[in-house]
Amino acid sequence: MSIALLIPDRKLDQLQQKLQQQLPGVTIEIWPEISKPEAVDFAVVWRQPANSLTAFPKLKALQSFGAGVDSILSDPGLPDVPLARIVDPDLTRSMLNYLHGVLLHYQLRFDQFAMQQQKQQWKARSPRKIQQLCVLGLGELGKAAALYFQALGYQLSGWSASPKQIVGVACYAGLNEFAKAVAEADVVICLLPLTAQTENLLNDQRLSQFKPGAILVNVARGAIVDDLALLQNLDSGQLGAACLDVFRTEPLPAEHPFWQHSAVLLTPHISAVTNADTAVLQIAENYRRVQAALPMFNLVDKQRGY
């Protein structure tokens, strides 16, 4: 029995060491240097190369190294075994911190003052009126964001697949209620998973249902937004600005118009990065549960896609 780490875009020596401290005596190897593929029964994955998991015939379970699982589920060679993901208060704290920073950036008009500085323009302005927020996705991160900003005095609406009741948050569910959820929001925060249902969800039709001048913050996945529709809605003034942490192709290609657009603030997918110190505790716990034939914590519904 051994563990394979398949996370191609990350240096894994430290993760391997930390996990080894939690699981002494267990063989933990970094793909593609796996000495006995037939002994691997547990794999930690994130953007694994397509079909790479077919090399492990005895695999019993998969553990995502992140909160999102779209890149894992899109693998045509995904084995039919349970998949768990990271749900970590530390990750949630990072996301709330990022979102709070972004809100203050726009509220205090730092975007406009940065442009004025370029032109050596001295022009005082009072803070932007940002009172109403909408959170798309009311799961682990979305619900936490809604409650956090509601406690800070903002008015909140939220949107999810199934109906929810969250004290102090006007909750809407399903495509029929999308327009109502976003109608009054000064800022719309996207915290949806990327699935067949949410790909290109934020297209021209839906962006036109936003309040004129609203700001979109996408910290979920790039493919939820139709890039061209977003650019058109920014150019027409239907949207006031967009803060994007995630993109259809990452890193964002050099020729992409988002780089140069004056109404786009972009960050390189850093809003909530998995913390290896806390993640290894969950990974080790799930590994032990698999060995004891118990269900893993934070299981993903593979049919639903999140």
Q: What are the residues binding ligand NAP (CB under 6 A)?
A: 67-68, 137-142, 159-162, 191-195, 197-198, 219-221, 245-246, 269, 271-272, 306
Return the number of the residue (116 or 195) whose C-beta is nearest ligand NAP. 195
Residue where the block lists tokens 């008009």: 109
Question: What does the angle CA 248 – CA 157 – CA 191 come to, to the nearest 5 degrees?
Answer: 25
Helix (H) or strand (E) holding 63: strand 61-64
Q: Checking phi first, is residue 39 left (phi over 0); if not, alpha (psi -120 to 50) or beta?
A: alpha
Query: Helix or strand or coil: residue 224?
Result: helix
What are the b/e assignments for 92-125, b being 16+ CB within 10 Å? bebbbebbeebbebbbebebbeeeeeeeeeeeee
Least Cβ distance, residue 142 to ligand NAP (angstroms): 5
Least Cβ distance, residue 46 to ligand NAP (angstroms): 12
Return the number of the residue (191 or 225) whose C-beta is nearest ligand NAP. 191
What is the C-alpha to C-alpha distance for residues 17 and 1, in angstroms, rounded to an integer?
Answer: 18
Whether a cis peptide bond, with omega within 30° of 0, leads into 32 is: yes
Least Cβ distance, residue 19 to ligand NAP (angstroms): 20
Amino acid at 281: L
Return the number of the residue (199 or 204) whose C-beta is nearest ligand NAP. 199
The active-site residue out of 93, 105, 109, 269 is 269
The active-site residue out of 221, 256, 289, 304 is 221
Q: Which residue is nearest to ligand NAP (CB)?
A: 139
269 annotated active-site: yes
Return the number of the residue (44 or 246) whose C-beta is nearest ligand NAP. 246
Least Cβ distance, residue 27 to ligand NAP (angstroms): 29
Return the number of the residue (256 or 288) whose C-beta is nearest ligand NAP. 256
**Token reading at 63:** 């553990």
Least Cβ distance, residue 300 to ligand NAP (angstroms): 8
221 annotated active-site: yes
Active site residues: 221, 269
